[in-house]
Amino acid sequence: MATDSDTPLSRRERERRTRRQAMLRAAESVFAEKGYPHATLEEIAERAEFGKGTLYNYFEGGKEEIFFAVLDTIYDELCDLIARSVADAANGTDPRARYHALVVRALAFYHDREDLFVILIKEAYRMCFSHDASKVAYFQRQQERMVNALLPMLQQADENGALRDLPLEAIAHLLIENIDGLIVHRAIMANHPDRPTSCQHQSILDDPEKAATFLTTMLFDGVAAPPSA
């Protein structure tokens, strides 16, 4: 990570990384389309414009190593997204504004790079119920990273007395999970716009701003009617 620019890389090494990146991008699109089990190395190689054997020069561990390398980039981007939204001074210290910004960015990210999210949603839940302990541990570690990226904001809010007295990790999990949930919900509805749905519901799904406001209100203030109104 930190060694990226320590020493100027040789052309060899630069080319090697470029090729590796190309392979990862190809893998990304194939995994997203087919899901892990139906993705074939043949197709990944073809899209990356390499022979299948070449993949093994870059990823000794074969299909699985490629897959986890793709997952790593996804989680890196997500953690970065969370950290940036939370740290953005424009949102002040109001946890609602910060969460709202996070949701909007997450939806934009989904819009730009649908592939990545789809891989996560298709594979992550499967992995966390896998019987292979190392896979479960990987997933757990990545979840923890995301929660930790969100925690500073919650801690600050908590110190300001803005939060109910509940475990912060649990709140962080809930806030993150619900973003996934929202994206899934939007995706399902987008695929089949012909179902009967109230206009209000539809507009919440269509407009990222409204969706973010909806989720922020739901989670921070609850679905119960406010006492005064």
| By the rule CB under 7 A, 52 interacts with DNA | yes
Residue closest to 87 by CA, chosen among 163, 152, 36 = 152
Residue type, 168: L
Residues counted in the chain: 229
CB of 87 to a copy of itself, least distance (A): 20
Nearest to 63 by CA among 143, 123, 112, 136: 123
Rule CB under 7 A: choose which of 17, 21, 33, 38 binds DNA: 38
End-to-end CA distance of the chain: 53
The owner of tokens 């966390």 is 128
Pick the piece of the chain touching DNA (CB under 7 A) from 33-41, 82-90, 185-193, 205-213. 33-41
Q: What is the DSSP string of 90-116?
A: GGTT-HHHHHHHHHHHHHHHHHH-HHH
Provide the binding-site residues for a copy of itself, judged by CB under 8 A.
Answer: 33, 35, 37-38, 95-96, 118, 121-123, 125-126, 128-129, 131, 133, 136-137, 139-140, 143-144, 161-167, 169-171, 173-175, 177-178, 181, 184-185, 187-188, 191-192, 195, 197-198, 200-201, 204, 214, 217-226
Name the DSSP letter for residue 198.
-
23 vs 39 by CB, closer to a copy of itself: 39
**Which spans of this chain sit near DNA (rule: CB under 7 A)?**
11-12, 16, 19, 38-42, 49-54, 56-58, 62-64
